[in-house]
Structure formats: C-alpha cells, structure tokens
Structure 1
Amino acid sequence: MITRATWLHLRIPFSFFLLPVYLFALSVSDDFSVFNALLAFFIIHFLLYPASNGYNSYFDKDEGSIGGLEHPPPVQLELYRTALFLDVTAIVLGLIISVEFAVMLFIYGLASKAYSHPAIRLKKYAFGSWFIAGFFQGFFTFMMVYVGATGTSVFQIESPEVWIGAALSSLMLWGSYPMTQIYQHEEDSNRGDITLSYRLGILGTFHFTTIVFGLAALGYWLYYLFYFSMMQAWLYLIFLLPVLSYFFYWYFLVRRDRSRADFHHVMRLNFISGLCLNLFFGLIILWDHL
C-alpha cells in the first residue's frame, strides 16, 4: 500500500481538467472502438497523467500550493517509484491497443520527465516550457487519443478536421497554461524556474490569456461552423460563457487587489472551464455517435 502523501501527489482528480482534450478527440473520431476508447481513457487519465504529476512533484518538492493540491505534503522516494511504475504500466497496457499508441505514451512520458528533471528541467525556460506543455497536453494527446480510439496510424490520417482539431487543442492550452502559474511566481523564481507567467507579470498573464484564448475560441467557432454545423458553433460559445464571465470577474478583482491572483481562484477557473468544456464535448459525442 502506498502512503496518503503519494496518493495526494498523483493528483488523479486533476485529470478532470485535461479531459476536454480526450473528449474533443473522441468527438471527431468517426469510427472508434468503444473498448479501445475506454482503455485509452483509463491509461491516460489514471496512469499517464498521475505518473507525470507524481514525477514532477518529486523533483519540484513544492512547499506552496500546486495544481489540484493546496497543501502538498513532503515527497518521498516512494512517489518517484510509483510514478515510474504507473508509466511502465501505461505503456504495457497501451500495447493492447497498438504498438504505435504505446510508443506515443512513452514519448509523452519522456517529455513530462524532461519538464521537471534537474538534468534538463524545461520548466526553467519560460517559452520552451510553455510551448512543450501546450503541445504535448494538446496536439500530441489529441492525436494519441485518436490513434488509440480508432486504431488508425497517425501517418494515415488525412482528414483536415483531425489535424486542425489537434492544433486547436494546443492553442487553447497555450492560452490557459500561464494562468495555472500565476500564484506560484515567488516559489518558482526562488527555485530558478522563470515561467512565462512570471515573465508576463500578474496582469500581463491575464492580458496574454485574453488574446490567445480569444483566438482559440474564434478558431473553435470557425472549426465547428465549417466542418460541422452552425448550431454546434454557437453551442460552443454558449458553453464558454460561464468561463469567460468568471475570468473577467476575477480579472477586475485582481486589478484592484493583486493578492486575488491566488490558488483558489485558479482552481475555480479550472473547474468551471473543465466542467463546461467536458459537458460540451460530451454532448457533441452523443450528438454525432448515438
């Protein structure tokens, strides 16, 4: 039995915030295996993501709040071993789907390790870490889900809506990712991790997110308008309204008091965003496949 501290650092519930990418990829998969889709869901959200969380936590050794964990307990060697075990288990189970899917799991695992391992530590490079995190959690994961669910090789995918959908996933994450760092400026800088949010500053992070997230929202609207239907395009914006409303409400709070750029507001924004997008993409799956 692993300790409670290790369970907490795996941050399994945090996978809920990354679920929209999985659901989006599934929603544009014309013919997918239900078995493969469910297995891919389990592997990615209960093995791959927790392994990445645990590995990063082990090397970060945060004392302040981190994503999904307000008061992280001290890390132990058990966390490192558990993270590696989950990684290996994910790859082995991935072979049930295909060798290509398992290789993609392995590549994702390498990228997540490079993010925090002291020998490379991409996290200390503002734009490099921002780009890598958005690419792998967005574009790469989207394609990984599509390959896993449909059994199609990534080299055989010709459909433009798949490639554009993957690109939009990264664009959305590139817009929202700096917001997850906004309350960690002091701890990150003390450790030598100069994140993009730290470079932008608190208000700069909000402005950056407004621009990039706005471009992503427009991209999604056009995507659904051209490849699916006008109803789905407008429905996307309707589901996005609570996210935008809370974001700008929080922005005006922070303009008056910078201390409001804290863990609790970030988690509320993540929850609202995750809930709305998961509901939207889940509805689209039911719409198109039932």
Structure 2
Amino acid sequence: MLKKSTLLHLRIPFSFYLLPVYLFALSVADHVHSIPAIGVFVALHLLLYPASNGYNSYFDKDEESIGGLKTPPPVSRQLYVTANMLDLAAVLIGWWLAGPLFALMEVVYSLVSRAYSHPAIRLKRYPFISWWVAGSFQGFFTFAMVYVGISGEGLAGFWQPEPVLAACLTTLLLWGSYPMTQIYQHGEDGRRGDRTLSLLLGVRGTFYFTAIAFAIANFAFWIFFLEYYTLWQALVFQLFLLPVLGYFLYWLRQVLHDSTAVGFSQSMLLSTVSALCLNVFFIILSVWTKGL
C-alpha cells in the first residue's frame, strides 16, 4: 500500500499547471483522434508527470516548500520505486494508445527529467542549462510529443510552420515563468548548492526577468494568432491574460515595498491563476476552431 508521503510527493494535482501545453497542442492539431488523445492525457498527466515529480523529490529531499506541496514529508525508498513503476506504465500505455513514437518521446522526457535532479548529473546545479532544459522539454518537446500522439501524423506532420511556432511559444512562456517557481526556494537551493536562475537573478531580478520574457512571449502570441487565426482570438487571449498580469503587478508592488513578501503561497497563486486562464482559453480555442 502506498504511503501518504509517497502520494503527496507524486503531486498529481500539479499536472494541472502543465495542462496548457496539452490543450494548446489539441487546439492546433488539424486531426485529433479520440482514443490516442485520451491515452496521451492519461500517460502524461496521471503517470509521467507524477513520476517525474516523485523521482526529483526523492533525490532533492526537500525540507521546505516545493511546487504544489507546502510542507513536504520525508521521502522513502517506496517513492523511488513508485516513480519508476509510473514511468514504465506511462510508456506502456503511451505505446498502446498513442503509438511507438509517442512512447519513445516519453522515454526521452523521462531521462532528461531524471538528469535534472540525479546527483550524478544534477542539471539543477547549473542556472542557465536547467532553465533552458526545463523550458525546452516541458514546452517545445512536450508540445511535439502531444501533437504526434493525438494526431498520428508523426514528426513530419508536426514539422510544419504552425505547430512548430506554437511549440516555440510554449517554451517562451515556460522560460518566462520558470524562475518564478523558484523564487521562494532561494534558501534551500543555496544551502544544497543548486545555483538556480532565480537565485542568480535575486528576487527583484526574477520579477524583472519574468516581466520581459512574458512581454516577448505575449507579443509573439499576438503575431501567431493574427497569422493563423483571427483578430478575435488574439484579443480574447489578451483578455484571459489580464488576471495574470494584474496579480503579477500586485505581487511585484508588494515585493518592491517589502523584499520578504515572497513565499510559497504567492508563487502558487500566480501559477494557479496563469494555468487556469490558459487552460480555459485553450479549451475555448479548441471549441471555437474545431467544435470539439
């Protein structure tokens, strides 16, 4: 029987924050097959992502708050075994329901995720490498993985201007948001020797970096929607970003007056507002363009 600590460290609800990538790929794909789409969702959000969370938690052994878990309990060997079993289940289900290419890409994703925290490599120690890898693989690579899985078109089908640009946009968003997920972990990361990008930038620097990155990403999304969709979709996207911008500016104002106003709750609220707005928008976009 799984221990409570194991279930907590899998952080299955945290998959909600990565759901926009899946939904964006769903809205962009010309052909969506129902069974593979369900298989991809299950393999990623219920198996592969939790396995990655658990594996990283096992080696990080965090004592302070981490994404989706305010008070992480001590880890056990069971967490390591469970993470490996979920990884295997994700690949088998992915192969069965979405095909061998999708399963192979899952393996690549899992290996990169493991390299992020495993002490033999631990990409997390290197600020720019970890930032680039996290954004690229959770963004571009995952978008491509979802696209080939739900469409059945293979890499040739993905390697077209619209899906490739959409995949690039997901990476831009993640490159902007990633340092904000580390902003309350400076103390523990520093003690452990993990030189994260947020730690390198500092609290205010992280806010400024994210503001610039999101401005670039937002402009790129605007051009993308005008090119492949309509002015209405571009405007609705901006409308859905307003709550994110509003809370970001509110939090930044607090930090400028009090540099200690940085914590788990504020960071998770920003992530929740952002994920909720993006998820709802991409669902609407799918219905709008495909009548799903």
Could you state the TM-score of these two structures normalised by the residue count of structure 2? 0.98
Residues in 2 aligned to 1:211 and 1:20: alpha-carbon distance in whole angstroms: 21
Residue aligned with 1:194, SS = coil
Residue aligned with 1:18, SS = helix
For 1:101-122, what per-residue CA distance to the aligned partner results, in whole angstroms no more than 9, with x for missing partners? 0000000000000000000000
Shift, 1:260, TM fit: 1.1
Equivalent residues in 2 for 1:102-113 (5 A)? 102-113=103-114
Flag structure 2 segments of 5+ consecutive residues without an equivalent. Answer: none
Flag structure 1 segments of 5+ consecutive residues without an equivalent. Answer: none
Shift, 1:184, TM fit: 0.3
Residue aligned with 1:193, SS = coil
Shift of the 263–156 alpha-carbon distance from structure 1 to 2, 3 Å rule, reads same
Give the structure 1 partner of residue 102 of structure 2: 101
For 1:21-69, what per-residue CA distance to the aligned partner results, in whole angstroms no more than 9, with x for missing partners? 1000110011110111111011100000000000000000000000000
Equivalent residues in 2 for 1:12-27 (5 A)? 12-27=12-27
Residues in 1 aligned to 2:176 and 2:95: alpha-carbon distance in whole angstroms: 33
Give the structure 2 partner of residue 92 of structure 1: 92
Residues in 1 aligned to 2:187 and 2:76: alpha-carbon distance in whole angstroms: 24
Runs of 4+ in 1 over 2 A off after TM superposition: 155-159
Equivalent residues in 2 for 1:17-96 (5 A)? 17-96=17-96
Residue aligned with 1:201, SS = helix
Residues in 1 aligned to 2:181 and 2:89: alpha-carbon distance in whole angstroms: 28
**Paired AA for residue 187 in structure 2:** E
Give the structure 1 partner of residue 116 of structure 2: 115
Give the structure 2 partner of residue 217 of structure 1: 218
Residue aligned with 1:222, SS = helix
**Paired AA for residue 14 in structure 1:** F
For 1:226-259, what per-residue CA distance to the aligned partner results, in whole angstroms no more than 9, with x for missing partners? 1111000010000000000000000000111112
Shift, 1:156, TM fit: 3.9
Residues in 1 aligned to 2:259 and 2:157: alpha-carbon distance in whole angstroms: 49
Equivalent residues in 2 for 1:163-178 (5 A)? 163-178=164-179
Give the structure 2 partner of residue 185 of structure 1: 186
Q: Is the Cα–Cα contact under 8 Å of residues 54 and 80 in structure 2 kept in the other structure?
A: yes
Residue aligned with 1:260, SS = coil
Shift, 1:158, TM fit: 4.1
**Paired AA for residue 260 in structure 1:** A
Q: Is the Cα–Cα contact under 8 Å of residues 251 and 266 in structure 2 kept in the other structure?
A: yes
For 1:110-164, what per-residue CA distance to the aligned partner results, in whole angstroms no more than 9, with x for missing partners? 0000000000000000000000000000000000000000011113434211000
For 1:190-231, what per-residue CA distance to the aligned partner results, in whole angstroms no more than 9, with x for missing partners? 000000000000000000000011100111111011111100
Residues in 2 aligned to 1:161 and 1:241: alpha-carbon distance in whole angstroms: 25
Q: Is the Cα–Cα contact under 8 Å of residues 148 and 157 in structure 2 kept in the other structure?
A: no
Give the structure 2 partner of residue 254 of structure 1: 255
For 1:70-115, what per-residue CA distance to the aligned partner results, in whole angstroms no more than 9, with x for missing partners? 0000000000000000000001111112110000000000000000
Q: Is the Cα–Cα contact under 8 Å of residues 144 and 158 in structure 2 kept in the other structure?
A: no
For 1:151-188, what per-residue CA distance to the aligned partner results, in whole angstroms no more than 9, with x for missing partners? 11113434211000000000100000000000000100
How big is the alpha-carbon RMSD for the aligned residues of Structure 1 and Structure 2?
0.7
Tell me the percent identity. Answer: 55
